[in-house]
């Protein structure tokens, strides 16, 4: 009997370990409290790591059923459910090189009716590479009905400045940010998509009221131009204004409120300098070119950003949150009208390079970190 009991106990432990291993063979362990209490200027919160094991995650979005889609820059789309990661098949055409790969992901505003997700990536070949945007539907463990709705032209070599943030405006059109691919003067060429914000209908067709429709010297998709490499964009609740930030070179990161047809100056005007220290353009101002709402020198390397509108953090409602890569923190911006009147640095060097920040359906703030073992984190209130 004693031997039988010992055998049964050993078998039970084996089965428990086996089941636990099977539960997590596609993902990491359960949530872990990382920072139990952080006291900021207006709120007190804690940070929970929901999962790790993401390879250079770039963006994420929440499905209505509670699952989370996370893009991994090497070219994988992760579906997170109950602390597990499942990679979806059906992606193609992605060329992951330098800053490129699988980048942003958002849901169609009417996702619950049509099931469309939209994602951006670098595609083509290493010598003819461009930012592309596709839409698809999630079915079990794969993407179906994949349709490319936009390809930046002209394509070019190199692994820099793909831009690639997506946002749906209140009128149902979608905005796409495009970097100038490291070739500065392309941002001032209206016949070139590079260095611009693109506006399209949800099927990829061009809205008739785009600012350059009908002009022979411009491509009709362009909504704004003179943008260096915008990697953050958010529509402000209540106003519908589109706030966008872009990377400067050495200094000169900017936040702008973008408006149709406006020229945001790069590389003619900038608050940044060449990485070697030399000057760029003609200065910081020029007629017909927009001034930023805010600029950062030295650079913080801003990443994703979101307005907070939830109820868990009432003192933060209406604030704009920006992730920082080089700065390795979360930046809170207090907004009044079209001005930033105060800034607070949160989580300095606590989590690493913050790549994206979103408000979750639970009213918490969620973050992802950019590393080989990137994590998904939740900021929640503490009494």
Asked whether 233 and 305 are in contact (CB, 8 A), the reply is yes
The half-sphere exposure of 34 on its side-chain side, counting CA atoms within 13 A, is: 19
136: left (phi over 0), alpha (psi -120 to 50) or beta: beta
pLDDT at residue number 30: 60
Residue 64, φ and ψ in degrees, nearest 5:
-60, -25
End-to-end CA distance of the chain: 53
Q: Which of 56, 161, 193, 295 is catalytic?
A: 161
pLDDT at residue number 12: 36
pLDDT at residue number 114: 98
pLDDT at residue number 356: 98
**At which residue do the structure tokens 């084996």 appear?**
14
Instruction: Give the helix/strand (H/E) hosting 113.
Output: helix 111-114
Q: Cis link prior to 200 (omega < 30° from 0)?
A: no
Is 329 marked active-site? no
Q: Please state, in angstroms and rounded to a whole number, the distance separating the CA atoms of residues 37 and 46.
A: 5
Q: Please state, in angstroms and rounded to a whole number, the distance separating the CA atoms of residues 22 and 18.
A: 6
Q: Which domains does the chain have, with CATH numbers?
A: 34-359 (2.120.10.30)
**pLDDT, tens digit only, all 383 positions of the chain:** 433 333 333 333 233 333 233 333 344 446 899 999 999 999 999 999 999 999 999 999 999 999 999 999 999 999 999 989 999 999 989 999 999 999 999 999 999 999 999 999 999 999 999 999 999 999 999 999 999 999 999 999 999 999 999 999 999 999 999 999 999 999 999 999 999 999 999 999 999 999 999 999 999 999 999 999 999 999 999 999 999 999 999 999 999 999 999 999 999 999 999 999 999 999 999 999 999 999 999 999 999 999 999 999 999 999 999 999 998 999 999 999 999 999 999 999 999 999 999 999 999 999 999 999 999 999 999 98
């Amino acid at each position: 009997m004693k031997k039988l009991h010992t055998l049964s106990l050993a078998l039970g432990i084996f089965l428990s370990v086996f089941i636990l291993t099977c539960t997590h063979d596609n993902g990491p362990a359960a949530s872990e409290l990382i920072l139990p209490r952080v006291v900021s200027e207006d709120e007190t919160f804690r940070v929970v790591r929901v999962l790790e094991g993401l390879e250079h995650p770039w963006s994420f979005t929440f499905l209505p059923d509670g699952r989370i889609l996370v893009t991994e820059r090497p070219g994988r789309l992760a579906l997170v459910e109950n602390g597990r990661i499942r990679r979806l098949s059906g992606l193609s055409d992605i060329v992951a090189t330098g800053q490129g790969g699988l980048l942003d992901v958002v849901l169609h505003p009417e996702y619950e009716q049509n099931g469309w997700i939209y994602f951006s990536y670098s595609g083509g070949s290493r010598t003819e590479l461009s930012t592309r945007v596709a839409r698809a539907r999630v079915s079990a463990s794969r993407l179906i009905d994949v349709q490319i709705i936009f390809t930046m032209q002209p394509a070019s070599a190199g692994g820099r400045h793909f831009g690639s943030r997506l946002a749906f405006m209140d009128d149902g059109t979608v905005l796409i940010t495009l970097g100038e691919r490291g070739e500065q003067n392309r941002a001032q060429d209206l016949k070139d998509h590079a260095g611009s914000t693109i506006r399209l209908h949800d099927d990829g067709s061009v809205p008739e009221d785009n600012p350059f429709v009908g002009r022979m010297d411009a491509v009709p998709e362009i909504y704004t131009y003179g943008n260096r490499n915008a990697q953050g964009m958010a529509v402000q609740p209540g106003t519908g204004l589109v706030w966008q930030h872009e990377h400067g070179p050495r200094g000169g990161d900017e936040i702008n409120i973008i408006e149709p047809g406006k020229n945001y100056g790069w590389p003619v005007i900038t608050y940044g300098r060449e990485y070697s220290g030399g000057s760029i353009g003609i200065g910081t101002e020029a007629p017909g070119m927009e001034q930023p709402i805010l600029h950062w020198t030295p650079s913080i390397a801003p990443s994703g950003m979101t307005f907070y509108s939830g109820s868990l953090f009432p003192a933060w409602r209406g604030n704009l949150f920006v992730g920082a890569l080089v700065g390795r923190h979360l930046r809170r911006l207090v907004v009044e009208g079209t001005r930033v009147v105060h800034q607070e640095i949160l989580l300095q060097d606590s989590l690493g390079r913050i790549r994206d920040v979103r408000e979750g359906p639970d009213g918490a703030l969620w973050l992802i970190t950019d590393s080989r073992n990137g994590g998904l984190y939740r900021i929640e209130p503490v009494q």
